Structure 1
Amino acid sequence: MAQSIHDFHDDPRNADIRIWINGQLKPRAEATVSVFDSGFVLGDGVWEGLRVVSGQPVFLDEHLDRLFEGAKAIAMDIGLDRAGLTRAIRETLAANGMHDGVHLRLMVTRGVKRTPYQDPRVTVGPGTIVIIPEFKTAKPETVATGLTLFTAHVRRGYPDVQDPKLNSHSKLNCITACIQAYTAGADEALMLDPHGFVATCNSTHFFIVRKGEVWTSTGDYCLAGITRANVLRVCREAGIPCFEKNFTLAQAYSAEEAFTTGTFAGVVPVRSIDGREIGDGRPGPMVARLQGLYRELVQRDVLLRAAERLA
């Protein structure tokens, strides 16, 4: 049965989580926003997903950089500065007694509108900020066995249509690709760029391994992924040849290994694409090495954050 890499085993503790909404911590059942909210009406907002390891939101600076860049791009006032958002995240974690095995969704919309219309000028009041923390980790069996991908007809578009660098709430093209993939019996969609080169997956980034080299797309038509950038970073630190370049589906089909990257699950092997088995259909040595290097980088960031808080 097809399943998303974002699937997880339910944790009963999530029934009692408290969610941060505009400065108030609300029980899950009472955590609501207005039907006039810009995010609900139009998908007008930006968001970030973060993992929490040993009490530390991992790669927080990079995530906040992307959040504020996105807000500026759509002329949206978040209403809190970086320090304020950091305090809100830590307050939310503390209120829920969360330390490890946590995934956190930080969402910001333009706020409540006086009528359901797209013009930002009909927004009244400040933006809406929501922080949803959950005890949630990727299913270990999925990480161990790998994903199946299906190439969707939906393309990643030009930045003058909807900039793929913008981590907005408007994800309909990715949702459409996801539907096509799971309807075809795959776990995730592989998406091409407007020129027919491999771009990214619907909710993760995509890499292949050929002759000891790690390849990913140019990045021109995909989100500026935090985990994607960190995998390229650990490759360079370890002396592993890595390239951001155009490559085709034919080159992906014949790769020795393939994998996806994302905040939620880290580095996850791909075992087949469009019914073509990748390598021998099992996780390969490069994926295993990169999983280890990425875990080490996460621990370095955790120690750095802890040291900064003590300073």
Structure 2
Amino acid sequence: MFDSAKALAFNNVPDREEIKGAIFKTLMSNGMFDNAHIRLTLTRGKKVTSGMSPTFNLYGCTLIVLAEWKPPVYDNSSGIKLVTATTRRNSPNCIDSKIHHNNLINNILAKIEGNVANAGDAIMLDKDGFVSETNATNIFLVKKGQVSTPHADYCLPGITRATVMDLVRKENIVLHERRISLSEFHAADEVWTTGTMGELTPVVMIDGRVIGTGEVGPITKQIQNAYKVLTTETGVPIPKHVEK
């Protein structure tokens, strides 16, 4: 978020401690201490008049903390199906996808294609036809015991993605970050996606092609378990709520 705010020339961005305080205050005020999902939105703040120029936002940034009870988004036990969308992921020539922003029309159109096909999500390609990510998550494949994930040139390099890449290396599994064609995903031994809400989700079918055996693969399970251990043992504790 800080990098995106810098790229968008935001001024008076709240610091990390202020944002943490706002998150904790929201959670404690609503009694949300477990199974809650938090979405942070940072705007330029109140304008003095209409217009596109950021110079009209004279009152500093506004931070919105949206906390909600969120059931599991994906089936992380049996896996999900994906389809490939016709809508492409934005190129850095247009809107750099490394900027985390609310202009998600491409992703929404891809998700609609996924919904029509009764799929969990939709794979999005870059302008050259290589796999970028899905409409909501990053994506990995396993082939002959090695893991590959697309370069983050056309997608948001997610925090969960980076965490999983570190876990793959710590599990002594070879990891490649490279251009990957769609046919490689069709022929993969295992595929999974990563994201904040879904964590690590197995993929058992893409575009009607069964992935591997059609069941969650051994390396996927290995990394899922490593991720579960990591998230159980680390994190920032929520201050205890004191009743008045």
Question: What is the TM-score when the length of structure 2 is the normalising length?
Answer: 0.92
Indicate which of 155, 175, 178 corresponds to 1:222.
155
Give yes or no for contact 1:137–1:265 (8 Å, CA) kept in 2. Answer: no
C-alpha separation between the residues in 1 aligned to 2:73 and 2:63?
29
Give yes or no for contact 2:100–2:156 (8 Å, CA) kept in 1. Answer: yes
Structure 2 residue 231 is matched with structure 1 residue 298: yes
CA shift at 1:269, angstroms?
Answer: 0.5
- Share of identical aligned residues, percent? 38
Indicate which of 151, 162, 165 corresponds to 2:95.
162
Indicate which of 108, 121, 127 corresponds to 1:194.
127
For residue 73 of structure 1, what is the aligned residue in structure 2?
A: 7
C-alpha separation between the residues in 2 aligned to 1:77 and 1:148?
42
Give yes or no for contact 2:99–2:156 (8 Å, CA) kept in 1. Answer: yes
SS of the counterpart of 1:148?
A: strand
For residue 127 of structure 1, what is the aligned residue in structure 2?
A: 61
For residue 145 of structure 1, what is the aligned residue in structure 2?
A: 78
Give CA-to-partner distance per residue, 1:154-182, whole Å, 9 cap, x none. Answer: 11222131001111011111111111221
1:73–1:139 Cα change, 3 Å: closer
Q: How does 1:1-311 map to 2 (within 5 A)?
A: 67-77=1-11, 79-139=13-73, 142-302=75-235, 305-306=236-237
Give yes or no for contact 1:155–1:194 (8 Å, CA) kept in 2. Answer: yes
SS of the counterpart of 1:92?
A: helix
Most deviating of 179-188 and 218-227: 179-188
SS of the counterpart of 1:281?
A: coil
C-alpha separation between the residues in 2 aligned to 1:79 and 1:190?
34
Q: Structure 1 stretches of 5 or more lacking a match?
A: 1-66
CA shift at 1:151, angstroms?
Answer: 0.7
Letter in 2 for 1:236: R
Letter in 2 for 1:298: T
RMSD, aligned α-carbons: 1.7
C-alpha separation between the residues in 2 aligned to 1:224 and 1:158?
14
SS of the counterpart of 1:159?
A: coil
Letter in 2 for 1:270: V
Give the paired residue count: 238
SS of the counterpart of 1:143?
A: coil
CA shift at 1:139, angstroms?
Answer: 5.0
1:79–1:166 Cα change, 3 Å: closer
Letter in 1 for 2:222: R
SS of the counterpart of 2:65?
A: strand
Give yes or no for contact 1:148–1:271 (8 Å, CA) kept in 2. Answer: yes
CA shift at 1:289, angstroms?
Answer: 0.8
C-alpha separation between the residues in 1 aligned to 2:103 and 2:32?
29
CA shift at 1:115, angstroms?
Answer: 4.5
C-alpha separation between the residues in 2 aligned to 1:170 and 1:264?
19
1:75–1:234 Cα change, 3 Å: same
